[in-house]
Structure 1
């Protein structure tokens, strides 16, 4: 049977009756922008992640932009961010007039390399945005120590990681701000665009609330030039339905990841990177070459709670496109996150950029396979069989 990369209907349709009842409730209320549904959703998310304040917004992208605006990041400022991530991270920095300064990645967990961030620090650096890529936390102790030593603001991009934890604490709650996305493909996927900004700083929360709604407080009195980042009441209401099921979704994704790891590691030519190799690029490459590895499986660090937004494999020796084509022909959904690092994007061609060898290598190696909660055992076995056959034929 075909195995899609993601099947949103497999998750949403079992909730169809309750979702329709929720729609009718919002319809009858006549309140479609912000309001009680949004406030209830914010309270529930804040409680789930352990944040003092949660501010729902129009998208995960707008959450990042709103955080930057609240921190008064603008022209002349530099913000450190990984190059190996989705465009919104750096795009929002550029939209404020500030300059994104691109940082290399860890080859094991795919997250920001704090040692490289230290090399990119300048007198203009005002903030750092660690991205919790694919559902696993970045090295937040190192990020926060570096930021504290240099008076930098920290915005956690948790678009792919709501509910993930770092040493027992929810990602997004460790820096000045945390941002989440509810794009339909995310672990808590909505029915269009929506996002969330969280913080434990009451003054920052108050400012962000005003900036979310044109810098206005009270009505028609504008203290700041803000934006229209308001959340639709319908999105908030529908997401509340799914939020009640979220711990089940996470547990199933984690079980799917364990199943892949257990079975794929039995195959000659497939290895899992050692967590002790984090940041040791040359050492890891040498070990993989010596072992004649063909595929490298992802790692969940023991102190993290990984929520597996993606299960991302590294395909060595230039065989990524061959595997991608083989999976597609076998009816297996897959995709490349991300084929072009941000520092190589045309829109950032005018920025000075030193070599970022790890993220450039990752961009040529990575491929993600289905990991969504509703995968059946038969579907997972099909994915494993297809990868096994590809390795055997290589």
Structure 2
């Protein structure tokens, strides 16, 4: 048997990006010293859950973890896709953490992907499922992903600490490859849309958030519509909470989004707080003002996507055919910078980065690696 050459990496950072790019480029990786100096060393539950999820959608991939979880060997397989798959994402990170790598892998599968994910649908760490529906899916369509069969259905919502949410993600396959983009025109904001939700608390919370957010937007724009989604019973998951996801649509078809969720903290985050001193939820009016200001901040930065979607945008550009893609973003986000480094390492795609001083934005250009969907069935 031929000896496998593993690409050696160190540390726990950006495991999600490393696994995604390793799978797409068919590069086996060996990661050492995963949190080896921390009190609880090794991989975290959500990282192991992500590995299990990749095993479900791929065939013939091989995962080896040592006893302490500080060393991981991963040999990627073939992305199969498939339907009626089910995965429990656990409670340490929300479903949003798993969606980004999953949707990119799904595009290059043998068959379209349909999977039911269980866990936390909205939390304050990861992009919410509402943002994914309103923004992420629209970004994919820019790259020629067919809109038929690309959807995310929210069955139940679930917030930390106990989750209880369920969503069904469907991803079509790209028949040969993605389309290169020339996407530098941000346009002007023409409307703001949003969804405010609440689970196991009064619907008044949603109304208070919307009222506060609209108080800021109405001074700037007439077309503001924020929907409410009040869940009750089994659909409301297992924990009380509320939140909002906002998206600004521009005249050139860009979607800039922000979201937030207010709920009780997870156990590990409240080790020092006793039950009697359980923190109260933040007042919804304050949340509305903060989130509206955050959206205005993202719009002000400029660029065709918001800072949380930069990494995904770079990956999609790098996977395009061997043609030039040109994009404009606001200030480079730390996650975006890491994505650029790893794309160079795994796909040998280098971006030319040029600041545009007149607008304070940055223009990036690259020639894609020309990844084709070779695992799909040829008719």
TM-score (norm 2): 0.27
- Which structure would you say has the larger RCO, counting Cα contacts within 8 Å and 6 or more residues apart? 1
Higher helix share: 1
